[in-house]
Amino acid sequence: MKALRASRMERCIGCHSCSLACARLVHKVLSWNKAGIRIASAGGLSTGFEARVCLACSPAPCAQACPTGAMAPRRDGGVMHKENLCIRCGKCAEACPVEAIFLDHEVNPYVCIHCGRCVAFCPHDCLELVDLPAKGGEAADD
């Protein structure tokens, strides 16, 4: 099972191409927020950039916090968001230790599904798709 890693953020130029690609290709919107990865300057442009992106935790605190099972853990780490189960309580975003879940003003959560579609749009090769060590065990269905 794959996971997106922002492994080389010290190379980031802050172009937002990754966020725009995720929003466009995964969520079908024009946005730099409604995306699995979001770029913030670490205190003004002069100190570089950081990526807000899912770490693919296992166990996943966001899934544990979700009261309805809408944030469902993936087998080897990270989550799938099942829109039809989501009651928009925002608990997942609160639970995430790295602010990887974006809530829009209607409290819809946006989180990385580790598909890797943003990777090709990064001009500085900051992002990569890696293999997660297989966990096996109890979790989900995909």
Partner 1 sequence: MIREFFRVMVVNLTTGKTNIVEIGGRSEFLGGCGLAALLFRKYGRVDADWDHPDQPLILTIGPLTGYYPLMSKTCCAFRSPYHNQYAESYAGGKSALSLRFADLDGLVVVGRAERLTALCVGSRRVETRDVEYMRGFDALQTGRVLRKIFPGSGRRSILRIGPAGENRSAFACINVDTYRHFGRLGGGTVMGAKNLKGICILGDRGFPLPEGKAYPKLYQHIFEQLTTTEMMAKYHGVGTAVNISPLNKLKSLPWKNLQQTSSPEADKISGETFADDTLLRNAACAGCPVGCIHVGFVREQFQANNQYLYRQVGYDYEPIFSCGGMLEVTDPGQVLRILDVIEKVGLDNMSAGVALAWCTEALDKGVITEAETLVRFNWGDADTYMKGVEFLGTPPNDFYRLLAQGTMKCARQYGGEDFACVLGQEMAGYATGEVFFVSEALGFRHAHLDAGGYSWDQKHEEREVEPALDFLVNDGRDRIVLNSMVGCLFSRGVYKDEELAAALDALGYGELNGKLQDIGQRIQCARWRLRLDMGYDPDKVKIPKRYTEITTWKGPLDVDYLDALRRGYAARIKAMGTDPRGEIDPAQYERKGK
The single residue listed with the structure tokens 């944030």 is 71
- Cα–Cα nearest to 118, from 37, 48, 40: 37
Q: Which of 1, 9, 32, 103 binds partner 1 (CB under 8 A)?
A: 32
Identity (one letter) of the amino acid at 1? M
Q: Is 81 an interacting residue with respect to partner 1 (CB under 8 A)?
A: no
- 56 to 115, contacts with ligand SF4 by CB under 6 A? 56-57, 60-62, 78-79, 96, 98, 100-101, 111-115
- Indicate whether 31 belongs to the interface with ligand SF4 (CB under 6 A): no
Nearest residue (CB) to partner 1, 28 versus 141: 28
Q: Which 3 state secondary structure label does DSSP give 99?
A: coil
Q: Report the chain's terminal Cα–Cα distance, integer Å.
A: 10
Nearest-Å Rg of the Cα atoms of the chain is 15
Question: 94 with 70: CB under 8 angstroms?
Answer: no
Q: How far is the CB of 17 from partner 1 (least distance, A)?
A: 5
Contact residues toward partner 1 (CB under 8 A) are 13-17, 20, 23-25, 28-34, 38-41, 43-46, 48, 52, 104-105, 121, 123-124
